[in-house]
Structure 1
Amino acid sequence: MSQSTVVKRQFGHRARLALSPAEVLKTDDQAHAARTMWNLLHAWWQMMPKEKRTLGHADAAIRQARKDIDFLAVLPAQAAQAVLKTYFQAWKNCWEGRAGAPDFKGRFRTVMSVDIPQGRDLNIVRVHRRWGMANIPKVGRVRFRWTKDLPVAKHANAENRITGARLVKDTLGWHIAFRVQSVEAKAEPHQGPEVGIDVGITVPIALSDGQTYEHGEWLTTKEKAKLLDLEQRATRRKRHRKPGERTSHRLHRTYDQIAGLRAKAKRRALDWQHRTTTTIARTYGTVVVEALTITNMVRSARGTVENPGKNVAQKSGLNRSIAGEAWGRTVTMLTYKTAQHGGTLVKVPAPHTSRRCSACGLITPGNRESQAVFVCKNPDCGWSGNADHNAARNVLHLYRMGLALIPAAGRAVVRRAKRVKPATAR
């Protein structure tokens, strides 16, 4: 296979770990030690003069700290070096304007994680159709859920291998996120049709060919009732807490139960998004979406004391619905999945796609009679149909007119580009 027909791909894969109580305790200790190491590095950085804030001086300080503080010895040496590199990279990102300045990490506000920099230490094997095993430094051999083919230890090479991993704990337990490098055959140009996509709330995804993708509630009726009960319980317990008093363990358990239900809903939403975007990427060669500025769409309508906003509660509910659909995440998935299947994703300007008649081109606010029905007010047209389907057709029309958003100098600008018609299948 020649170099022109292959492509190097780097991606991440996250799997659920099945740890015993003793292994959970060991992993928790490592995560707390990593957080403590970060805080010690930050304190060292603030005390040292600028000329001594170097990687060499920091490495010497870490080695001395691991000798003086027994608690830090539970963290593997390579994981401690990863904390050091991450901390210096955080300052580099701050100086280049990509992020804020690093700060201390709190015990309850920080995601617990441990880095495994070298993939060869994992020694991954598949022991069952649904389970694999990996070696975690200073923890031992642990099982993880096998949901994707990974380069196992005996078949790994310089081109297809796992370069590292990271242990991450969320409300559903400990997970391992693999960093995978592989060499794959370059995808042939997708010969599928073009399609425009309109995202919404009532209809999450509507296509220009009339196809729609919908989903139900992420939580069952019993789960929603339990979530409401837990939120009310947390409010009552928080109300009885005195100012300055530490949060009780009972209230923390309630918060953990609430976070667990919300994480379960998010996991179901992610599963639906992955299945839907994979189907679209496999079916269509060119996918056209709107370039939405979601941060502006979910901005609060509260206003100020001098100029209070209107319909604040209704706008808050709309903002929650928009955030719940995660439109940006859908576009991100479509971006890399269409590329993997040989297709392309194009963004077009968003204004007037819901007000324009896809049949005659008339743009007026009165066209949209309701959230679901579109009726053209042009007496010579009078076209009517589904509003989401109409918007998706307008999105595709903008692409066919050559109005695509092309990034230039850090911003997106509208340029008329010559549209390339996909080749017909032979």
Structure 2
Amino acid sequence: MRRQDDQPGVVKRQFGHRARLALDSAQAAVLDGQAHAARTTWNLLHDWWLMLPKAQRTLAAADTVIRQGRAELDWLGVLPAQAAQAVLKTYFQAWRNCWEGRAGAPEFKARFRTRMSIDIPQGRDLHVVRVHRRWGMVNIPKLGRVRFRWTRDLPVGRHADKHHKITGARLVKDALGWHIAFRVATLAQAPAPHPGPEVGIDAGITIPLALSDSETAEHEPWLSKKEEARLLHFEQRAARRRGHRKKGERTSRRLHKTYDQIARIRATAKRRRDDWQHKTTTAIANTYGTVVVEALSLGNMTRSAKGTVDQPGKRVAQKAGLNRSILGEAWGRTVELLAYKLASRGGTLAEVPAPGTSQECWQCHTVTPDSRRNQAEFVCNNPACGWEGNADHNAARNVLHRYRTGHALVPAAGRAVVRRATNGVKPATAR
């Protein structure tokens, strides 16, 4: 959020909303062509940039080259002009991020490994209207009017003005089809401090989220037994077909089809996980004023145990399964969702050091050997204490205790990890 200087107590809020498009096969083919044209525009621009001397690499020269290419190549001209300009701006921004140390250098976009997307930079071109309770209509350049699933109120019609409007959109394709992500800017009252209590959260596998007040947030497996069996079947089929492919030979259409079937099942699991995360984090943000989480290093936690040729690792398969479970829970995304949802409600998200929270007793705050009997049970071996209870709730209470005793993390740059209402910006897939 950004505070408006001319309107005290009012903040400018920018967020996104993603909705599913209802396309027939012909419309989907048109968007596929535009997305491939956008990807090719990026690749041609990248080659042009690397071939020219540094003195000739200018935005004006790149714009001239793109205009000439769209005029001479019909298959490149299917991309709307504003979408082509958006590719150019994104490419130049990628180099700025590289020069400023925020990202690596831009790279070539491969056909089958690149996410297909098309940018619509101006909201006035969309002409969004609501048809009825479940569906809306949006205008897509060079395609026309298309229906989309209406799942959230948008500033359209009489509800839209210069302060409340759709500023643009991006068309994105995943394994389940084409979606549109609207960019929305509105004005809202600055949130008052959240009156809710403080809570610590411990993230785990058996219990996804354990709270310090003995509450839990759990979910069913993302895929049913039948879906897991289908996924395993397609993965085995893909492995067999890869075995018949010779080195350097192009991937067959049958193998690509199998890859698509695998991607659709995994996309279904991801969508269910996102839905659960949104609902769970919204409930937590509505209930608690301060949420404390562990500062987990997921990269280190999910590092492979293979080792080296000279020193091979142990229990590699078991560690690989644990890594898949950790990555499947997407703890980092849960923290991101909590950050902006708490910020928009006047709440606070804080992070504390993670080491030792599972081995420490929350009652006497001593660490004794073998206190954690198993995944679910904690028994303090201190003779003066002897507390017994759920191990995850014990860790969550330790997390909250560390925050209350002043152990909230502060990075070296001096910016506190505590995230408050002044820096919450909702990501494009938020609800």
In the superposition, the TM-score normalised over structure 1's length comes to 0.95
- Equivalent pairs counted in the alignment come to 414
Give the match for residue 19 of structure 2: 15
Secondary structure of the residue aligned to 1:86 is helix
Contact 2:196 2:290 in 1 (8 A): yes
Structure with the bigger RCO (C-alpha within 8 Å, sep 6+) is 2
Indicate the RMSD between aligned Cα atoms, in angstroms: 1.5
Q: Unpaired runs of 5+ in structure 2?
A: 419-431
Which residue, out of 227, 232, 235, partners 1:231?
A: 235
Q: Name structure 1 gaps, 5 residues minimum.
A: 415-426
In the TM superposition, residue 323 of structure 1 has moved relative to its aligned partner by 0.5
1:131-184 deviations in Å (ceiling 9; x for gaps):
111100000000111111111144321111111101011100000011110111
Could you list the structure 1 runs, at least 4 aligned residues long, displaced by more than 6 angstroms after superposition: 410-414
- Counterpart of 2:206? 202
Match 2:173 to one of 146, 169, 175: 169
The AA in structure 2 aligned to 1:103 is E
- Within the candidate set 41, 48, 56, 1:44 is matched to 48
* Equivalent residue number for residue 387 of structure 1: 391
Q: Of 24, 31, 38, which residue of structure 1 is paired with 2:35? A: 31
Provide, for residues 332-360 of structure 1, a one-character-per-residue CA deviation record: whole Å limited to 9, x for no partner. 11101111111111111111110110111
Which segment drifts farther, 86-95 or 370-379? 86-95
In structure 2, the residue matched to 1:378 is 382
For residues 36-56 of structure 1, the C-alpha deviation after alignment (integer angstroms, 9 at most, x for no partner) is: 111111111122111110001
Letter in 1 for 2:165: R
Assess if the C-alpha contact under 8 Å between 1:123 and 1:153 holds in 2. Answer: no
- Tell me the CA shift for residue 406 of structure 1: 2.2
**SS of residue paired to 2:214:** coil
Residue 272 of structure 1, aligned match among 270, 273, 276: 276
1:175-190 equivalences under 5 Å are 175-190=179-194
TM-superposed deviation, 1:407: 3.1
In the TM superposition, what is the alpha-carbon distance from 1:410 to its structure 2 partner? 7.1
Is it true that 1:152 corresponds to 2:156 in the alignment?
A: yes
SS in 1 for 2:366: coil
Amino acid of the residue matched to residue 359 of structure 2?
Answer: R
State the TM-score, normalizing by the size of structure 2. Answer: 0.94
* 8 Å Cα contact 1:237-1:251 kept in structure 2: yes
Partner SS for 1:108? coil
User: Match for 1:241 among 238, 245, 252?
Assistant: 245
CA distance in 2, matches of 1:201, 1:46: 47
Give the aligned partner of residue 133 of structure 1.
Answer: 137
Match of residue 192 from structure 1? 196
Amino acid at match of 1:240: H
Q: After superposition, what is the alpha-carbon deviation per residue over 1:216-264, rounded to whole angstroms, capped at 9, x for unaligned?
A: 1111111111111111111111111122111111110110000000000
The alpha carbon displacement at 1:408 in A equals 3.7
1:29-76 per-position Cα deviation (integer Å, ceiling 9, x unaligned) = 111111111111111112211111000111111111111111111111
1:124 equivalent in alignment to 2:128? yes
Distance 1:316 1:410 in 2: 36
* 8 Å contact kept, 2:351–2:417: no
CA distance in 2, matches of 1:214, 1:101: 40
Give distance in 1, aligned partners of 2:409 and 2:393: 22
Residues 137 and 145 in structure 2, CA contact (< 8 A), matched pair in contact too: yes
